[in-house]
Amino acid sequence: MDKFVINGGKPLHGEVSISGAKNAAVAIVAATILADEPVVLENVPEISDISICLKILYEMGASIKIIDKNTMRIDTRGISDPVVPYELARSIRASSYFMGTLLGRFKRADVPPPGGCDLGDRPIDQHLKAFSALGAKHSIDGGIVSLRADELIGNTFFFDKCTVGGTINAICASVKAKGLTVIENAAKEPHIVDLANFLNSMGANIMGAGTDVIKVRGVDFLKGITYTVIPDQIEAGTYMVAAAATKGNVWIKNVIPKHLESITAKLRAVGATVEEFDESVHVYVDGPLLKTTVKTLPHPGFPTDMQPQFSTLLTSAEGTSIVTDDIFDNRFRYVSELRRMGAEITVEGTTAVIQGVEKLTGATVRATDLRAGTALVIAGLMASGTTVVENIFHIERGYENIDAKLNSIGADIKRMSDYDITRKIG
**Site residues, ligand EPZ (CB under 6 A):** 23, 26, 93-94, 117, 122-127, 161, 163-166, 187, 304-305, 327-328, 370-371, 398
User: Residue 371 and residue 246: Cα distance in Å, rounded?
Assistant: 18
CA dihedral 307, 364, 245, 385 (to 10 degrees): 170
Burial 257-269 (b: 16+ CB within 10 A, else e): bebbebbbebbee
Smallest separation, CB 401 to ligand EPZ (Å): 17
Coil vs helix vs strand at 300: coil
Nearer to ligand EPZ, 281 or 395 (CB): 395
Nearer to ligand EPZ, 44 or 94 (CB): 94
Nearer to ligand EPZ, 132 or 408 (CB): 132
Nearer to ligand EPZ, 287 or 349 (CB): 349
Smallest separation, CB 3 to ligand EPZ (Å): 20
User: Residue 96 and residue 393: Cα distance in Å, rounded?
Assistant: 21
User: Residue 101 and residue 103: Cα distance in Å, rounded?
Assistant: 5
* Phi, psi for residue 330 in degrees, rounded to 5: -130, 50
User: Residue 292 and residue 406: Cα distance in Å, rounded?
Assistant: 26
Smallest separation, CB 397 to ligand EPZ (Å): 8
Coil vs helix vs strand at 267: helix
Nearer to ligand EPZ, 169 or 246 (CB): 169
Q: Is 53 a catalytic residue?
A: no
Smallest separation, CB 257 to ligand EPZ (Å): 20
DSSP 8-state symbol, 341: T
Cα 399 from chain centre: 9
Smallest separation, CB 128 to ligand EPZ (Å): 7
Smallest separation, CB 28 to ligand EPZ (Å): 11
Smallest separation, CB 399 to ligand EPZ (Å): 10
Percent helix, strand and coil across the chain, each to the nearest 5: 35, 25, 35
Coil vs helix vs strand at 38: coil
Other Cβ atoms less than 10 A from the Cβ of 179: the count is: 12
Catalytic residue selected from 53, 117, 162, 172: 117
Nearer to ligand EPZ, 166 or 342 (CB): 166
Instruction: Name the nearest CA neighbour of 8 among 414, 409, 386.
Output: 386
Other Cβ atoms less than 10 A from the Cβ of 13: the count is: 14
Phi-psi region of 137 (alpha: psi -120 to 50; beta: other; left: phi over 0): beta
Other Cβ atoms less than 10 A from the Cβ of 135: the count is: 18
Nearer to ligand EPZ, 273 or 350 (CB): 350
Catalytic residue list:
117
